[in-house]
Amino acid sequence: MTYALIIGAGPAGLMAADVISAAGHSVVVAEAKPSVARKFLMAGKSGLNLTKDEPFEAFLSQYHEASPTLRPMLEAFGPKDVTTWAEDLGQEMFTGSSGRVFPKVMKASPLLRTWLSRLSEQGVEIRTRWRWTGGSYRFDTPTGPQEIDPKVCVLACGGASWARLGSDGTWADWLKAPLAPFKPANMGFEVDWSPHMARHFGMPIKNVTLTAGDASLRAEFVISERGLEGGGIYAVSRPMRDGAALTLDLLPDMSLDDIRARLSRPKGKMSRANFLRKALKLSPEKQALLMEFGQPLPEDLAPLIKSLPVTHTGPRPMDEAISTAGGLRFDAVDASLMLKDHPGTFAAGEMLDWEAPTGGYLLTACLATGRWAGLGAANWLKRAP
C-alpha cells in the first residue's frame, strides 16, 4: 500500500511531497509526463521569477477575490520564505529594480536538480509516465493499468493551459466536486491586423501606459503576427478578458497640452511620419498603432495619442495562456485544502480556483498551497490508523 500519494510533479506537488516526506512518511509522486516540473523549467527560460519583494498586503491583493482564502497560506510561506527556500537549495538570489526576485543563474534547472536530490534523500519515489485516469487512483502506466490505495493523497494536477507540459485540465472530467469554469489568464489577445502592420511583427512597444478597467500600468508589450502579447498585456488581461476596453497612452511622459503644443509647430514639407517622429519622438511602431486603431484620424491627434482605443477579437486560445482561472472551488475544500467530499484527499496549486498576474505571484502561490496541503496531509497521516 502506498502511504502518501502526490499526483502531479510541478512546484505544488513537489512541495507537498517535500513536506510530507520531511515529516517521516513514505511518498510516491505520480507524474503523467516523462519528466517532472516541465512548466517550471519553461518558466526558468525567462529567468525564473520566483516571487516579488513588496509589502505583504500589496502582494496579497494580486490574488483578487481569492486573497482572503490564500492569506494564511501566504502568511505561512510568502515571498521572504520562498527566497529563503531557494537559498537553502543552493541558489544565490537577487531582487531586480521592479522587486521581482530571481536566482542569479536565471534558470530553473540547478534549483530543480538540488530539490529532486533532497526529495530522493527523504525517500520520495517519483513515477513518471503515470497518468491518472480517475476513480480511486487508477493510472495508465508504462507497464499497463495500475490502481493504488493510498492513505492520503494530494492532487496537484495543474490548470488547463500548456497541455504539452502537463497541465491539460482533464482531471476536471472525473473529479466529483464543485468546479469553476476554466478561463485563460495572463494571455495575449488576437488582432486582425491590416497588411501594413506586418513589418512591425515582433517589435516591442516600450514606455506606454496600458489601461483596462481599474488596471493601469506603465509597461511594454509586443506586436505579434497574432495580436498583442507580452508582460504589459498580461498584466491587464484579466479585466480585458472580462470585457474592459484597452486604451494606450503612447506618450506617458508628455501632457496633453505639451503634445498639442508640439503638434502645432509648422510641419513644412515633412511627411506626417517624419513630423510625428521629430515633434514627438514617436517611434514607427507607435505610429503604426496610431494609424491602425485611430482611423479616421482626427484633426486633434493629442487626445488619441494619450488614450488610443485598441480593437481586438478576444483572448488567444486557453492552451496558450501562461495560467488559467477556474478549477476546484474553494468551497469544495476545508481550511486545510482537503476535499470535503473525499476525506484524506487534498488539492494544491493551479488546479484550485485562483489567478494572479505574472511577476512571481503564480509560483509563490503554487509553492504556498503545495506546502499547506502537504502539512494537512501529514497531519491527516498522524491520525490515520
User: Under 8 Å CB-to-CB from 373, ≥6 apart: which residues?
Assistant: 12, 16, 154, 156, 336, 337, 338, 346, 347, 348
Out of 290, 310, 330, pick the residue that ends a domain: 310
Residue-level pLDDT at 375: 98
Specify if 144 maps to a domain: yes
Structural domain harbouring 339: 4-184+320-383
Other C-beta atoms lying within 10 Å of the C-beta of residue 244: 15
Out of 310, 330, 345, pick the residue that ends a domain: 310
Query: Is residue 353 domain-shared with residue 272, that is, in the same domain?
Result: no
Query: Is residue 170 domain-shared with residue 207, that is, in the same domain?
Result: no
Residue-level pLDDT at 158: 96
Query: Is residue 18 domain-shared with residue 143, that is, in the same domain?
Result: yes
Query: Is residue 80 domain-shared with residue 171, that is, in the same domain?
Result: yes
For residue 250, give the nearest of 300, 297, 308 by alpha carbon. 308
- In this structure, are residues 308 and 297 in contact, taking their beta carbons and an 8 Å threshold? no
pLDDT digits (tens, 9 = 90+) for 313-324: 999 999 999 999
pLDDT digits (tens, 9 = 90+) for 22-78: 999 999 999 999 999 999 999 888 889 999 999 999 999 999 999 999 999 999 999
Residue-level pLDDT at 1: 47
Residue-level pLDDT at 267: 83
Residue-level pLDDT at 176: 83
Specify if 327 maps to a domain: yes
Residue-level pLDDT at 2: 57
Residue-level pLDDT at 207: 95
Specify if 315 maps to a domain: no
Residues of the chain with pLDDT under 50: 1
Strands 51-52 and 100-103, how do they pair?
antiparallel
CATH number, domain with residue 93 = 3.50.50.60
What total of structural domains would you count in the chain? 2
Specify if 129 maps to a domain: yes
Query: Is residue 265 domain-shared with residue 336, that is, in the same domain?
Result: no
Residue-level pLDDT at 151: 94
Helices 256-263 and 272-280: angle between axes, nearest 10 degrees? 130
Query: Is residue 306 domain-shared with residue 348, that is, in the same domain?
Result: no
Residue-level pLDDT at 239: 97
Distance CA 330, CA 66 (A): 9
Specify if 210 maps to a domain: yes
- What is the gyration radius of the CA atoms in the chain, in angstroms? 24
Query: Is residue 259 domain-shared with residue 117, that is, in the same domain?
Result: no
Query: Is residue 161 domain-shared with residue 29, that is, in the same domain?
Result: yes
CA distances from 51 to 130, 158, 332, 355, 366 (A): 30, 19, 27, 15, 11
Query: Is residue 179 domain-shared with residue 211, that is, in the same domain?
Result: no
Eight-class DSSP state of 118: H
Burial string for 47-75 (b: 16+ CB within 10 Å, else e) reads: ebbbbbbbeeeebbebbeebbebbeebbe
Could you give the percent of the chain with pLDDT greater than 70? 99
Query: Is residue 252 domain-shared with residue 228, that is, in the same domain?
Result: yes
Eight-class DSSP state of 314: -
Other C-beta atoms lying within 10 Å of the C-beta of residue 140: 14
